[in-house]
Structure 1
Amino acid sequence: MRKRDLEIIKHLEMFRVMSRDDIVDLHFKHLKNPIGNANTVLKRLVRDGQIEVSTMHSPYLYFPVGNHIKKNSTKIPHYLKLVQVYKDLCEIEPPTEFIIEPQYKKGLAEPDIYCVFKGTPLFIEVQNSIYSSKQMEDKIKRYELLKQSELVKPFPTIIMITNTRYAIESDQIKVIQTPSIAHLIHKANEDSNTPPPPQPIKTNGNITFKL
Structure 2
Amino acid sequence: MTDRPHHRPVLPGAARFEQIDAGADPALLTEAAERAAEALVRGAGGSADSTLVERVVHLAESEGLETLAELWAGAPADSLAGVVWRLYLLRSWVYADPVGVAREFERGRTLAPVAEAISGVEDPPGPDEVRALVDAVLSGIVTSDFADTLFRAAAFARVAATGRATEQVTGESSHDRDVSAARLLTLSAQLEDAGRLELHGRLG
Q: What is the TM-score of this pair, normalised by structure 2?
A: 0.25
Higher RCO (CA 8 Å, separation ≥ 6 residues):
2
- Could you say which structure has the higher helix fraction? 2
Normalization by structure 1: what TM-score?
Answer: 0.25
Which structure would you say has the larger Rg? 1
